[in-house]
Chain A
Amino acid sequence: MIFPFISGFLPTRLAPATWTLIIINFCILLMMYFPSILTHQSISLISEDYRYNEVQGQFFAEFVLESGMPYSDAIIEMAEKVHNQSDFKLSIELSRVAFSDRIFLQHYEKYEFKKDKVITNWWRNKFYELNILRERLPSSVFGISSVNYNIGQAISYLFLHSGFMHLFGNMLFLLLFGAALETVIGSVSLLLAYLISGVSAAAVFYALEPLTPIPLIGASGAVSGIVAMFCVLFWGKGVRYFFMVLPKEGYYGFIYLPAWVAFIKWFISDVAGYFSTPTIMGGGVAYSAHLGGELAGILAGILFLFVRKYVLNRQGHIQAGFVDTKSNFTLMPIELGSKIH
Chain B
Amino acid sequence: MVIRDTTGLLSRTTKPLAGENHPNKKSLASPFDRLAAVIIDHIIILGPLQILLMAPFEKMFTESRVMGDEAAGIIAIVVIAGLFFLSSIFYHGFFVFLVGRSPGQMTLGLKVMHFWDGRGLSFTNAVFRTITWLVLGLMCGLLISSPFLLASQQVFIFVFILSFMFPNLFIFMDPWRRGLHDRITDTMVITNESSRIAAPPSAHELKIVRGFFLSGVVMTLLFLVTIAYGILREQSLKQKIISNLETEGSLCASISQAQEGWLEDNPELIDRLQIALSLYMSDVVDVGCLEAEFDPRVYDGKTTPMTYLAKAFVYADSAELSELYLEEICNLDDKSEECIIAKSQRLMEEQNYTEAKNLLAPLISSKNLYVNIWTAKTLVDAGSYQMAKPIIEKLPNYSEFSVLKAKLYTKVLQGLNLNIAAETSLRVSLPILNSEDKLNLASWVCYDSLFNSCRAVGELGCAEFNKGLNVNEGALESVQVALSYLKYRECNEGSAVIYKAILTPDLEDEVRELILAVAAENPEALKKIILNDSYASEIRLDAVSRFMDMSPKSDDLDWVVALWKIKAIADPGYRIGFKIINKWVERGEFEEAISIADILKKETEQSKILENILVRSYKSGEIKFAKFLFDKYRSEITQGTSTSQTAARSPASNQELIDIIRSLK
Binding site for B on A (CB under 8 A): 1-2, 49-52, 74, 77-78, 81, 83-90, 93, 114, 116-119, 121-122, 245-246, 248, 251, 264-265, 268-269, 271-278, 280-281
Contact = CB atoms under 8 A, between A and B. Distances in A.
Contacts of A281: 62-63, 66
Given A84-B296, A271-B55, A275-B55, A122 B320 contact: yes
Nearest to A265: B48
Sorted from nearest, which 3 A-B pairs have the closest CB atoms?
Answer: A275-B55, A276-B55, A276-B58
A52 B39 CA distance: 46
B315 interface: yes
A85 B43 CA distance: 43
User: Which residue, A118, A268, A275, A277, has most C-beta atoms of chain B within 10 A?
Assistant: A118
A118 B326 CA distance: 10
B615 to A, nearest CB: 52
A245 B51 contact: no
Contact of A251 (B32, B56, B318): B32
7 contacts: A87-B249, A114-B301, A118-B308, A118-B324, A122-B320, A265-B48, A276-B51
B197 to A, nearest CB: 13
Nearest to A49: B318
Secondary structure type dominating chain A contacts: helix
Interface in B402-448: none
B303 interface: yes
Contacts of B318: 49, 51-52
A3 to B, nearest CB: 11
Contacts of B56: 275-276
A254 B464 CA distance: 77
A117 B324 CA distance: 10
A290 to B, nearest CB: 14
Interface in B325-368: 325, 328
B49 A280 contact: no
A272 B52 contact: yes
B296 A88 contact: no
Contact of B68 (A89, A118, A277): A89
A150 B52 CA distance: 34
Given A84-B296, A248-B32, A280-B63, A269 B51 contact: yes
A281 B66 CA distance: 9
B59 A275 contact: yes
Contact of A278 (B35, B44, B49, B62): B62
Nearest to B51: A272
Contacts of A265: 48
Interface residues of B, number: 40
B66 A51 contact: no
Interface in B279-333: 292, 295-297, 301, 303, 307-308, 311, 315, 317-318, 320-321, 324-325, 328
B647 interface: no
B67 interface: yes
A88 B249 contact: yes
Contacts of B525: none
Nearest to A248: B32
Contacts of B292: 86
Given A83-B296, A251-B36, A116 B303 contact: yes
Given A81-B68, A86-B296, A245-B39, A74 B48 contact: no
B477 interface: no
A52 B318 CA distance: 8
A7 B481 CA distance: 72
B40 interface: yes
Contact of B249 (A85, A264, A273, A277): A85
A74 B68 CA distance: 12
Given A122-B324, A246-B39, A278 B303 contact: no
A277 B62 CA distance: 8
B248 A88 contact: yes
Interface string B23-58: 000000000100110011001100011011011101
A277 B63 CA distance: 9
A77 B51 contact: no
A264 B49 CA distance: 10
Contacts of B35: 245-246
Nearest to B297: A84
Contacts of B40: 245
Interface string B212-253: 000000000000000000000000000000000000110000
A276 B59 contact: yes
